[in-house]
Amino acid sequence: MRRLLWWCLSLSSAVVTMAHGGGNVTYDSRSLVINGKHEIIFSGSIHYPRSTPKMWPYLISKARAGGLDAIDTYVFWNLHEPQQGQYDFSGRKDLVKFIKEVHAQGLYVCLRIGPFIESEWTYGGLPFWLHDVPGIVFRSDNEPFKYHMERYAKMIVKMLKAEKLYASQGGPIILSQVSTFHEKGPPYVKWAAKMAVGLQTGVPWVMCKQDDAPDPVINACNGLRCGETFSGPNSPRKPAIWTENWTTVYQVYGKETRSRSAEDIAFHTALFIAKGGSFVNYYMYHGGTNFGRTAAEYVPTSYYDQAPLDEYGLLRQPKHGHMKELHASIKLCRKPLLSSKWTNFSLGHLQEAFLFERNSHECAAFLVNHDGRSNATTVHFKGLSYKLPPKSISILPDCKAVAFNTAQVSTQYGTRLVTRRQKFDSIEQWKEYKEYIP
């Protein structure tokens, strides 16, 4: 029975990740609407400059195999315009080539134009030459900054439109992000939203952690536990979107390596979906490498090595496999999740159920145990008994059989072997590099 169920889950995952692209993209209170269909989207952040073009096809294929529907990436302003008016989209900076590879593998693209991206990236992605602009105040209702931000955003959108990469043109881009504010917030937020919408990309725009994002821009959540912390869309017409579900804690020099368990990621992802969420992006799905001097201060070259795909693109198990099973089980609930309103009721002191039921043939449920300290708890739901492990969610695609539990990991833990190729134990193998400092 377990093998049969797993086969069904795998088949479901394969079906929903067939070729994407093209058509109208809108939204309502339930989800993004693509080609007239409501969709539950699982996305993963893979940043094109943090890997090499030869790695892109492999990384994207592993993300697709993990049950993702979309790839999310920032656009790195200081890489593309290192000197004012001088642009570079070569090699690892080839944004168009990266997006086309995602499209070729049948996935959507979520594009975060910024221009401020944070991302543990030097200067937050802003070009250093902005310092020389007279009177500039970054990320504010400041005319010099707004002038250069709009000029840059228009350049990126024009380039992508010329390649017909937006979904409205038949391409894979279904969502765009514009950055949030620093000073004089409300006027800047309103201006940024109006500017972004005015670019007429044909796809919705989002703002992360911006509860006052004006219509039609969607306010989105970032963090570890958006199913618990997100206050929700700021309009009844907008869907619940999680733009950064952190898969680990990024490393800094001098600190111990900290990671996030596959069970914890699965629990909070399932809880967000159970509460009506329809879009989850994992940050990062593959962190990669901060080449050159692109890392922010105290951040090493290795970035999000504990993500589902490690720095080198190898599967980080059990995260990759456990999330794959989660995605497949949620996709089995697709019809009731997207066609019926959820109801919530108690199953115990720290236990509850989220029920999606349209009719006797379309029913899905999420049974949640918030208690992480005691042993497994038995609950009763629709005349049947279910044993819920501590701090877990059981997913029932038919309101009867458990397809997946967030705390029960069946994927085998993986190990990474390191082989020493060369030892620099002789002074003759070292050379001194002197850099001219103006």
With 0-12 / 13-18 / 19 or more C-beta atoms within 10 angstroms meaning exposed / middle / buried, residue 300 is middle
Written as six digits, the tokens of 183 are: 């000073």
For residue 7, the model assigns a pLDDT of 33
CATH of domain 2-332: 3.20.20.80
> From first to last of its 438 residues, what are the pLDDT tens digits of the chain?
333 333 333 333 333 333 455 578 999 999 999 999 999 999 999 999 999 999 999 999 999 999 999 999 999 999 999 999 999 999 999 999 999 999 999 999 999 999 999 999 999 999 999 999 999 999 999 999 999 999 999 999 999 999 999 999 999 999 999 987 766 678 999 999 999 999 999 999 999 988 999 999 999 999 999 999 999 999 999 999 999 999 999 999 999 988 999 999 999 999 999 999 999 999 999 999 999 999 999 999 999 999 999 999 999 999 999 999 999 999 999 999 999 888 999 999 999 999 999 887 899 999 999 999 888 999 999 999 999 999 999 999 999 999 999 999 999 999 988 899 988 888 888 888 888 887
Distance CA 354, CA 344 (A): 5
Domain residue ranges of the chain, discontinuous segments joined by +: 2-332, 339-405
**Do the beta carbons of residue 127 and residue 78 sit within 8 Å?**
yes
Distance CA 59, CA 46 (A): 8
For residue 358, the model assigns a pLDDT of 86
What is the pTM for the complete model shown?
A: 0.92
With 0-12 / 13-18 / 19 or more C-beta atoms within 10 angstroms meaning exposed / middle / buried, residue 155 is middle
**Do the beta carbons of residue 404 and residue 326 sit within 8 Å?**
yes
For residue 427, the model assigns a pLDDT of 83
Residue of 176, 205, 84, 180 whose CA lies nearest to 124: 180
Write the DSSP string, 42-102: EEEEE-GGGS-TTTHHHHHHHHHHTT-SEEEEE--HHHH-SBTTB----GGG-HHHHHHHH
Residue of 314, 318, 319 whose CA lies nearest to 417: 314
Distance CA 173, CA 188 (A): 25
Pairing label, strands 404-405, 392-396:
antiparallel
For residue 424, the model assigns a pLDDT of 84
How many other CB atoms sit within 10 Å of the CB of residue 105? 18
For residue 20, the model assigns a pLDDT of 56
With 0-12 / 13-18 / 19 or more C-beta atoms within 10 angstroms meaning exposed / middle / buried, residue 133 is middle
Which residues are registered as beta bridge partners of 342? Answer: 356
Distance CA 266, CA 319 (A): 9
**Do the beta carbons of residue 176 and residue 192 sit within 8 Å?**
no
Pairing label, strands 362-369, 392-396:
antiparallel
Distance CA 347, CA 394 (A): 13
For residue 429, the model assigns a pLDDT of 81
Quickly tell me which residue has 């705390």 as its tokens: 407
Written as six digits, the tokens of 36 are: 């007239």
